[in-house]
Amino acid sequence: MNVAIVGATGAVGIEALRILEQRRFPIDELRLFASPRSAGTRLSFRGRGLDVAPLSPACFDGIDLAFFAAGAAVSRDYGPLVIRAGAVVIDNSSAFRMAPDVPLVVPEINPDALRRGAPLIANPNCSTIILLMAVAPLHRVARVRRVVVSTYQAVSGAGRQAMRELEDQSRAALDGRPVEPRVLPHVCAFNLFSHNSDIGADGANVEERKMAEETRKILADDGIGVAATCIRVPVMRAHSESILLEFERPLSPEQAREILSAAPGVRVVDDRAANRFPMPIEAAGGDEVLVGRLRSDPSRGDGRGLLLFACGDQLRKGAALNAVQVAEHLPLPGPRISKAVAQ
């Protein structure tokens, strides 16, 4: 299988490269693309060096599968060209997520959406993926009617430059030097602020609307109410979410724990005696979404409310891993002798 990664030098692209190697994804030829500024960068794959090439309309001849991790504008410009060249596109941007004919997929939740022959599959927003890994198993049993979620989003969601900025700002603040934001709109070291996406007339920002719209599409249930508040926090990697669920019928914390313990891709961390629950520092670098703090909503007495807390690595399950898992579910060309083409 011939594979391309668009945006190979970004945080998600580099993670995708690592995951393809870790999971021994069948690859005959691997091509890496990025902006002209990053072209010429040399990356390692399976012990061999690969040069990153500049993106151009003619560079996808012979490609079977392309992972896009370079933003919505690049996906809109190049995605259709790649599809016309005969490849399947898995897009990590927001460009096509809500298009009616584009599957929006989390393989553990809605693999049936991967209908045979779909040339373009959208990867959901990272916060949506982490939310639904915790919510979907419970929804299957008791049907969720309402979700109230507050996110604590690591700077990894804003890319490698934002991660470097947090590191630099933290050093500067501890040294007593002035701290100036350059990548993010506000100082991120020792601070938190509302997610840096545009705010609409209703007061919700783009990230919050994404979570609501994508949740309904992935769960195929337009009746679910979603109220999200998205916050950027001074954590390097892994998002956290505080979640309140309202069900159609009662569901106890004990039942929820049993359901989530059996859910693929989820690990329950809920040790009340030791006061040990999900933490982003433990989710970072891992593939599972950690879920805990399971307890009934004390504001209602009918057993239909549940509180929980979840953490997941935004770059892995929230982005690159989910994309590779989607590819593993596709009826793509069969495996040949795996190798990377070294430049």
| Residue 307: alpha-carbon gap to chain centroid | 22
Cα(321)–Cα(314) distance, integer angstroms: 10
Residue with tokens 């599968």: 65
Cα(133)–Cα(111) distance, integer angstroms: 13
Residue with tokens 């703090």: 293
Give one DSSP letter per residue of 132-176, joined into a string. Answer: HHHHHHHHHHH-EEEEEEEEEE-GGGG-HHHHHHHHHHHHHHHTT
Helix (H) or strand (E) holding 214: helix 206-218
From the candidates 59, 239, 311, 329, which is the catalytic residue?
A: 239
Cα(275)–Cα(199) distance, integer angstroms: 37
Q: Reply yes or no on whether 239 is catalytic.
A: yes
Residue with tokens 């916060």: 127
Given a contact cutoff of 8 angstroms between Cβ atoms, the answer to whether 191 and 165 are in contact is no
Helix (H, G, I), strand (E, B) or coil at 268: strand
Cα(297)–Cα(144) distance, integer angstroms: 14
From the candidates 126, 188, 230, 311, which is the catalytic residue?
A: 126
Given a contact cutoff of 8 angstroms between Cβ atoms, the answer to whether 109 and 218 are in contact is yes
Question: Whose CA is closest to 135, among 149, 153, 122?
Answer: 149
Pseudo-torsion of CA 296, 298, 301, 306, nearest 10°?
A: -30
In the DSSP assignment, the letter for residue 320 is I
- Which residues does the annotation mark as catalytic? 126, 239
